Amino acid sequence: MKLFDELKWRGLVDNVTSPDVEDAINNEQLTFYIGTDPTADSLHIGHYSSLLMAKRLQMHGHHPIMLVGGATGFIGDPKATGERNMLTPEVLQKNYDALHAQISKLWGFDMVNNLDWTKDITIIDFLRDYGKLFNVNYMINKETVKKRLDSGISYTEFSYMILQSLDFYTLYKTRNCTMQIGGQDQWGNITSGLELIRKKCGADVKCYGLTMPLITKADGTKFGKSESGTVWLDPKKTSPYELYQFLFNTEDTKVIEYLKKLTFLTKEEIDALEVSLNEEPHKREAQKALASQVVKDLHGEEGLDSALKITNALFRGSFAELNDAQKLEAVAQMDQIECPCGLMLEDVLIQTHIASSKREAREWIKGNSISINGNKVNDPQMLIAQGNCCVQDYMILRRGKKNYYCVKMKEQEN
């Protein structure tokens, strides 16, 4: 399978600006770029497919450039929902430094900052040298801008397209960068960049654009910073265990798509996992493979080992084998119920709504269905206090094999 065919099989090609893109990807060694703005101090899972796309191309002889938009971050790419909040220079610099360190550590890509070639352009030069080449009618017909016309869009965000076009033009002139890759929502910015290059350098210039489908959840919403429950690539913001659990809980309808887009597993390996998913979905082999591959690629064998250790400890109820940091990672992923200290176990079950009555609570306790921090308990009148916590103020109750409850103990008020 040729590289472009593999990219299509993986679902990584949404649109291309020329039929020549396929031949260029298969047979040339292109310099291309992917960009992101420093609007947060970490990349998230929504960026991951694009970064792997760059790595896939690099492995076949192409040269990736990662652009972190120190300039465009001041402006903000227009959203369909409304104006972005302006970030201060201090926050943008902090975010830029964090992204630079993260990308360098994980992928080692060649990196550039568009503030370097934008900061010294005067407003007069900007309008004469670049603004004059953009037709307003052309700009307002771009999909993202068009969606904002009724609600309104500031000139600041409207001009974002020109700034990003300037990036492509500058990288073409200075680095012989002939292709830009972005999400499907970047089509308008990419084609505008190509137009600027042709107007500045001639219509016969061979430059290309490729867009990728956005990674979405089963409900159709995309992964991103503006969505709830952001999954970060920084292990301090989303631990390896949290990432593992997030991916392990992928719906059956999405897991094969994610395996294609977020891992380097071969077609044969993914096809075998798809057979397992269809014939024995309860084993969740596809989800295990997805979670293991992504966590290992991002956080190494050590991160994967820790994630699996916490997962297995929760499954078996063997909390004693975890250190305090791992216990806190597990606790962070559980719904927490507050309960005062000094109650009998049967009353704790009622107070936390685990049991609906004392009779039910006693039956469960005496029937060896209740565990505290992995240890079976069978005394309904056992007093529960801070000493029963497994880490900090948290106690893990389990009913049966699958029902876990994280109880946060608090001192009784006088």
- The 3 state secondary structure assigned to 148-214 is HCCCCCCHHHHCHHHHHHHHHHHHHHHHCCCEEEEEHHHHHHHHHHHHHHHHHHCCCCCCEEEEECC
| Residue 151 pLDDT grade (very low, low, confident, very high; cuts 50, 70, 90) | confident
Share of the chain above pLDDT 90, in %: 59
* Residue of 61, 36, 32 lying closest to 48 (CA atoms): 36
- Please check whether the two domains, 3-212 and 336-410, share a CATH topology: no
Span 300-341, pLDDT tens digits:
999 999 999 888 887 776 777 888 888 888 887 777 888 888
Rank 76-90, 140-154, 200-214, 326-340 by mean pLDDT and report only the highest: 200-214
Give domain 336-410's CATH superfamily.
RNA-binding S4 domain (3.10.290.10)
| Residue 259 pLDDT grade (very low, low, confident, very high; cuts 50, 70, 90) | very high
| Residue 83 pLDDT grade (very low, low, confident, very high; cuts 50, 70, 90) | confident
| Residue 64 pLDDT grade (very low, low, confident, very high; cuts 50, 70, 90) | very high
Q: Which amino acid is at 19?
A: P
**CATH, domain 3-212, list 3.40.190.170, 3.30.470.10, 3.40.710.10, 3.40.50.620:** 3.40.50.620
Q: Is 172 annotated as a binding residue?
A: no
| Cα Dmax for the chain | 85
Is the pLDDT confidence value at 129 over 60? yes
Give the architecture-level CATH label for domain 240-330: Orthogonal Bundle (1.10)
Q: Is 164 annotated as a binding residue?
A: yes
Is the pLDDT confidence value at 95 over 70? yes
Whole-number Å distance between alpha carbons of 319 and 325: 12
Looking only at the bridges linking them, the beta strands covering 15-16 and 336-340 are unpaired
* Domains of the chain, residue spans: 3-212, 240-330, 336-410
Q: Is 225 annotated as a binding residue?
A: yes
Res 170: pLDDT: 97
Q: Is 394 annotated as a binding residue?
A: no
Report, as an integer, the average pLDDT of 151-171: 90
Looking only at the bridges linking them, the beta strands covering 179-183 and 31-36 are parallel
Q: What's the mean per-residue pLDDT of the chain?
A: 90
Span 262-315, pLDDT tens digits:
999 999 999 999 999 999 999 999 999 999 999 999 999 999 999 998 888 877
Is the pLDDT confidence value at 128 over 60? yes
